[in-house]
Structure 1
Amino acid sequence: MRIRPATPADLPLLQDIERAAGDPFRTLGMTEIADDEPPALELLERFRAAGHAWVAEDDEAEGEGEDSGRDGDAGRPVAYLIGEPVDGAFHIEQVSVHPDAAHRGVGRTLIAYAADRARDQGLTGLTLTTFTEVPWNAPYYERIGFRALTEPELTPGLRKIRATEAEHGLDRWPRVCMYRAMA
């Protein structure tokens, strides 16, 4: 597995990854999440152009050649992470792993890569918002060093993110903001 910046040609593939990664939510009765549209190409491009969109490549698919629409030495993305600085920390907007690549440490590797880039930018930690009762969400992030933030700990930027999520109906299921300090 190799982590690299996303290219414009990757962006439609990231949407495919997001659709596939949403499917397991059906088993929890969260069909609205499973059926939610992936981030628009314009939004993905905004993160990419800012240098805040990375993909994990599948080693077995490297060098797919000219017909892939990607650089000849680029493997097929199996996961991605997008985010941006928010109030002195790097906020992970989305990290998604295709189910075919699940349980191989791909998400953890992407998060570590984002942490390294955030540290290089002088940011103090990582933040994200997630579902509390989904096993591969909050419980997973706790295992890799994130902690839930209390309401008074939320920064203005995180409060705005949570308000936007609530407007989109995500609060139908319990959610939390989480933080991990830079190691």
Structure 2
Amino acid sequence: MRIRPATPADLPLLQDIERAAGEPFRTLGMTEIADDEPPALELLERFRKAGHAWIAEAESEGDEAEGDGDAGRPVAYLIGEPLDDAFHIEQVSVHPDAAHRGVGRTLIAYAADRARDQGLTGLTLTTFTEVPWNAPYYERIGFRPLTDPELTSGLRKIQAAESAHGLDRWPRVCMYRAMT
């Protein structure tokens, strides 16, 4: 799989990936999440211009789910930004057709390498605690939940924004992974 910076032409495709990645939330009764609009093109462009938007492309050969005609097409993306000495993963989304192949893990590792290059100490994210492909997945790849006293001012602001958006209707957690 190839990871590369997002281009302006990729941004509408990232929105499509986000919509598709939201569909599995319906099976958990989280229709509001499934129906939530993807990040606006302007927001995606802000991350892209900052150099903090990366995509994973479909395999070029032997990728049965994607087919050779889709080689090089974005199948997942990650956006984030430095926050309080860490790199905060704002969103990582994998198209369901590319799920369970390590694509998200590879994107996170790529972001960690870029964060390390910038002298940041770790990765942070916020996520749902009871969604199998959210907090339990992140714990399996080395993230740990942060306790309230460990929350930075930046993470508290993110929590407040997520609450204002109604995401706190379901249990959520801030998580951290130190650089290794």
Fold-level similarity (TM above 0.5): yes
Identity %: 88
Partners of 1:105 and 1:163 in 2: CA distance: 31
Partners of 1:163 and 1:59 in 2: CA distance: 39
Q: Give the TM-score taking structure 2 as reference length.
A: 0.94
Cα RMSD for the two superposed structures: 1.5
Instruction: Give the corresponding residue for 2:33.
Output: 33
Instruction: Give the corresponding residue for 1:168.
Output: 165
SS in 2 for 1:56: strand
Partners of 2:18 and 2:32 in 1: CA distance: 14
* CA-CA distance at 1:63 after TM superposition: 9.2
For structure 1, list consecutive stretches of 5 or more residues without a partner in the other structure.
Answer: 69-73
The answer as to 2:93 corresponding to 1:96 is yes
Measured against aligned partners, the alpha-carbon deviations of 1:30-58 in whole angstroms (never above 9, x if no partner) come to: 00000000000000000000000000000
Q: Give the TM-score taking structure 1 as reference length.
A: 0.93
Partners of 1:162 and 1:124 in 2: CA distance: 21
Instruction: Give the corresponding residue for 2:82.
Output: 85
For structure 2, list consecutive stretches of 5 or more residues without a partner in the other structure.
Answer: 61-65
Partners of 1:174 and 1:59 in 2: CA distance: 35
* CA-CA distance at 1:155 after TM superposition: 0.2
Partners of 2:34 and 2:25 in 1: CA distance: 5
Partners of 2:93 and 2:102 in 1: CA distance: 12
Equivalent residue letter for 2:108: I
Instruction: Give the corresponding residue for 1:127.
Output: 124
Q: Are residues 62 and 88 of structure 1, via their aligned partners in 2, closer, same or farther at CA, if it must alter by over 3 Å?
A: farther
Give every structure 1 segment of 4 or more consecutive aligned residues whose post-TM-superposition deviation is greater than 4 Å. Answer: 61-64
